[in-house]
Every structure is written in structure tokens, then in C-alpha cells.
Structure 1
């Protein structure tokens, strides 16, 4: 049997093509018709590999999140350093696909690598002495902070392009509703805004 004239269609090829479309033209440009044209196939053949557009979106996001380094959360009690290194790695992965960022905060339960990342951050903070509730909330807050700062950094003429990720993390730490003690002493701040936060 002769070799096929073009590479066989696969989920990985479809996701890669979809990411290229998002990088070039944004999320709204992704469609089955567009991807079929990019890949040189008929539209219905894509459904053998991706069930829906949401399935494709989840796969794109999970592919990007898989690039994030999580090894720093297995190295000991230096949670400050671990958070900073993780945030830098996370932001670097998002910076390669900034137009995908708006889709990151949806559907985590369907994205294995996103769950793996959340578990790693949570586990690292708990191992360093954080209360479980605090570890969950701080991990989520910092994840949202990094995604938001990435969007801001890639906005036209944004002043945030001139600020380092480390500076943003320090600013975020000062503004959270946790008072950071020795690393094992985490107490809620008592400002009016934080009291409203803790009481709902």
C-alpha cells in the first residue's frame, strides 16, 4: 500500500492547527470549516477526533497548561519561591498563546493538566504549612492573577509590559487578605475590605 499523500489526521494535529488559528486570528476564528481547510480534509472527518468545539477548546487549553513547570512544588517549604517560579512558568506558557487566555478559566474539570496544576499548587502550599482553605484560595487567586496580568501585558500600549512578573507577585501578596507570617502562620487581615471577603 502506498504512503498517504498527506499526514494522517489525529487529535494532536487538529489541536496544533487550532492553536495556530487562535494565535493568528483569535478564538472566534476557530471553526470546523476553517480547521478542515487548514488541514486539507473534509469537515466531518474532524469529528472522529474531537466531539465538539468545546472539546477542542478544552484540548487546546490543556495542551498549553501541560507546558507549565510544576517541579518546584516538590522541593521543600520555600512556598514563596515556588509560587514565583511557577507563576513565571505559567505566564511564559500563556505568553506563547495570549489569545487563548480568555478560555483558561472555564471547564477545569474537563482538563487533566489543569487539574494536575491545581493539585500541585495546593499540595505544595499545604506541605509548607498553609491551612487547606487558604491553599485552595491562594492557588486560585494567583492563577487568576497570572492570567489577568498576561491579558493586560498583551493589550496594546499597556504599561504592564514594563513591569516584571516578580513585581506583580509582590503587589498581589500585599493585597491579599492573608497576613504572611513565618510561612506556617497565616492569619486573615482585618481591613474592612478583607472582613467583607471573609464573611461573604
Structure 2
């Protein structure tokens, strides 16, 4: 059986284009004069009982942006951040208590534009040593793990839709147990799954 980390490194070396929340909705009209805010999200991987596992969060329902959704730890780049990679590591430290020294950076995935005008850069990192997440109560409702093999299998994904601002909006989903992984998180993972199987 192929080493998932080796396959991941090969996938990260492949080229692919940026993605967006609008790509499954070609009739969507983008806001005029919109300004995209840079953001970094960490795609944190760790060895676990089910092999290589991905750590995800369930966002607090009290948040302004994407309340209650499944997400990577991360957020907008602040003035004190050197770049989006630094932003992703800082946010992971704040949101789930992950020490940056435990993270080996493997690479980045193409940017993803969200409907809330963020330009997210996914930063892939491997966690070393023991890690017990500590959820930041104001932002994170839950921290959980998903087998990496699940979120890199294109057959696990589907395209669904719902009404949003009076329009039918299509999006990717990759559900796992009680967790409905959809939207930007699922789209980024689908892009990675496509790279892994190319």
C-alpha cells in the first residue's frame, strides 16, 4: 500500500488552479469593487489510530462568518503576521492550542476565494509528537479528526445545493459521520483529492 505522506508530497508538487465558492455557480454575480482579504488556514495532519488523520474544527455558532460550519483552523492575516503561513500557524495556536514548533510544513495548496471575500491559502502541515487540542471557546465548538483516506477519496464527495440570498447555490460536500463538511473546506479537500488521484 502506498505511503499516504509520499503520495501527499507528490500531490503538493503538482500544479492546479485556484478555486472559489463561485465556480459551481457560473451565473453568480460577484460584488462590484470587492476587496479580498488574505487569510491562511492550516490543513493539519497527524498520525492516529486510523492512519494519517486530518484535524478539523466546528466553528462556534456565535461567529459572524460561517457560524457552526466545519473548517480548518485559520483566519485572516493580521498586520503582525509575516505572511499567510504565519497567519495559519498563529490561528491554529489560538484556536486549537497547536504549538507551531510541532508543525512541519509540507507545502501550500492553491488559493480559494470565499463568498465572504476572503482569499484563503491552505497550508499543509504534519504534526509531530503528542497533541491534545484545546478549543478556544469563543471561536471553536469542537475539534475532531477525520481519516485522511476519507477526504482524499473523490468518491466520497458530492455536489449539493441550497438557497442562498434568493439564489440556488451549489457546493461540494464530503460528510463524515455526524460532521457535514461542505463549502470552502470541502472544495479545498476535493482539489487535494483530485491531485492525489491524478
Give the TM-score of the pair, scaled to structure 1.
0.26
Higher RCO, Cα 8 Å, sep 6+: 2
Q: Which has the higher strand share?
A: 2
Bigger Rg over Cα = 1
